[in-house]
Every structure is written in C-alpha cells, then in structure tokens.
C-alpha cells in the first residue's frame, strides 16, 4: 500500500509538468516566435482589442477664431473705427475679457499715429461679470466719467468691441452691486438700463467701417419677422 500511494503523487506531478511544457510550447508556436527564439514586435493595429492598455481620452475646450475680433477706437470726427486684434484661439469668455482690457488700456502708439484715440477715461477698468445667452454683463470701473458729450461714444466703444466677438450679441452694463447701470445710447443721450446691441450704436461708426450687427432677439422677445442674420465689418 505504501509503494502504491507514493507512486501516485509522483506520477501526477510528472504528468502536470509535461502538460505545462506542452502548453508553453503550443503558446510559443501560436504567438509566432521565430526559430531563433527572439521576440517580434507586433504592430498595434494587429493586436486584438482589449489587449492594449487603456488609452486616455482627450477633451477639447470650445474655442473661437479671433479673425473678426476688434477693439473700437475713435477718430478725429468722433466716429468709431475697428482695429483688428490678433489673439490665439481661446474660449469666448477669457478672449472677450482680454479685448475689453485692451480697450481700457487705450490706443497703442501705432493707433495714435493713425489719429485714433479713446473716449474712455484714463484708468478705466472694464470687468466682464458674466457671459450668458449672448449677453455680456460688463461693469465700467472709473474714477472719472467721460465728458457728457463723449459718454455715448465711450459706451459704443464697449458695445462694439464686445459684439465683435462671435456669440456676443448685446452688452448689459451693471453697477458694482450687479444692478443695471443706465447708459446713454447713441447720439440721443437717453439713458437706458436695457442691454445695448451693436445696431443701437451703429450710427457712431465711421461710414467705411460697418459693425457686426445681430438681430437675434432677447430670450422671451417676440420672434423676428425675418431669420436672424449677422454681418461683419472688416
């Protein structure tokens, strides 16, 4: 009995070892190992799905081409002229804040050489508070308001600069507490606390520099009689 019981485990271990050797040999043959025993690189496209490690999924942030983005400055006739600004593609909100900051800084030496100025007071800060539904909410922070005769032009500078960005259709001016700020619209001087569109200040633009004008209605307004259209200046 002892001899039979001792032979069984040895025979089982030998059989298992042979099976392992056979399996390894079959796997090696199935993997296409060359006769010299060296491995071969398999192109990724030939590797069965699921054998490669997980790949990361890249996300793309919505961007906007700045080809039509402009800062509006003032000529010696108190008419507005767009100055194209070249910026890298960026999400709309930081791009718009960058444009407003450039407008607040004022004309460059090159712009001044062309006779272009600004009606915004020195030291003005233009803060983009929000951007939603095509409406840019902007706070004008200044220690001194422009002269009354220049204030409508200064407001138009902000509106036209903001609406030169695709997707921005109107500007709502607000106070520090977020309440609407009354601003004079165009040459009438009438104060309005409603969002201002480019079409409302278009009369202040130089004849050869038409602004981008959008007729997309505000949310809740009655639909326009004609489809929404957009035109762009140079």
One digit per residue, the tens of pLDDT, for the chain of length 234 reads 444 444 454 444 444 444 433 343 333 444 444 455 555 665 655 655 555 554 444 444 444 444 468 999 999 999 999 998 876 677 889 989 999 999 999 999 999 999 999 999 999 999 999 999 999 999 999 988 888 888 999 999 999 999 999 889 999 999 999 999 999 987 566 889 999 999 999 999 998 776 544 333 334 433 333 333 334 444
| CA–CA dist 199, 186 (Å, integer) | 10
Q: Is residue 183 part of a domain?
A: yes
State how many domains the chain has: 1
User: Does residue 138 lie within any of the structural domains?
Assistant: yes
Would 4 be classed as within a structural domain?
no
In a domain? residue 50:
no
Nearest CA to 103 out of 171, 10, 39, 31 is that of 171
For residue 161, give its domain range: 66-213
User: 36 burial class (0-12, 13-18, 19+ CB within 10 angstroms)?
Assistant: exposed
* pTM of the entire predicted model: 0.63
Residue 92 within any structural domain of the chain: yes
In a domain, 40, yes or no: no
Q: Specify if 81 maps to a domain.
A: yes
The answer to the question of residue 49 being in a domain is no
């Amino acid at each position: 009995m002892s001899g039979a019981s001792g032979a069984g485990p040895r025979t089982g271990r030998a059989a298992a070892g042979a099976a392992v050797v056979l399996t390894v040999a079959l796997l090696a043959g199935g993997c296409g190992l060359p006769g010299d025993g060296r491995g071969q690189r398999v192109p990724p496209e030939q590797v069965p799905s699921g054998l490669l490690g997980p790949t990361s999924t890249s996300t793309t942030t919505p961007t906007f081409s700045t080809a039509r983005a402009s800062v509006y400055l003032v000529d010696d006739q108190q008419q507005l002229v767009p100055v194209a600004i070249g910026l890298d593609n960026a999400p709309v909100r930081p791009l718009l804040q960058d444009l407003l900051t450039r407008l607040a800084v004022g004309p460059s030496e090159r712009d001044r050489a062309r006779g272009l100025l600004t009606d915004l007071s020195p030291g003005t800060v233009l803060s983009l508070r929000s951007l939603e539904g095509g409406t840019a909410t902007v706070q004008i922070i200044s220690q001194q308001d422009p002269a009354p005769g220049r204030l409508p032009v200064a407001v138009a500078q902000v509106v036209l600069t903001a609406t030169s960005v695709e997707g921005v259709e109107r500007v709502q001016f607000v106070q520090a507490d977020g309440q609407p700020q009354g601003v004079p619209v165009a040459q009438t001087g009438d104060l309005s606390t409603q969002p201002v569109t480019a079409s409302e200040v278009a009369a202040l633009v130089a004849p050869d520099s038409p602004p981008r004008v959008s007729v997309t209605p505000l949310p809740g307004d009655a639909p326009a009689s004609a489809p929404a259209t957009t035109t762009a200046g140079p």
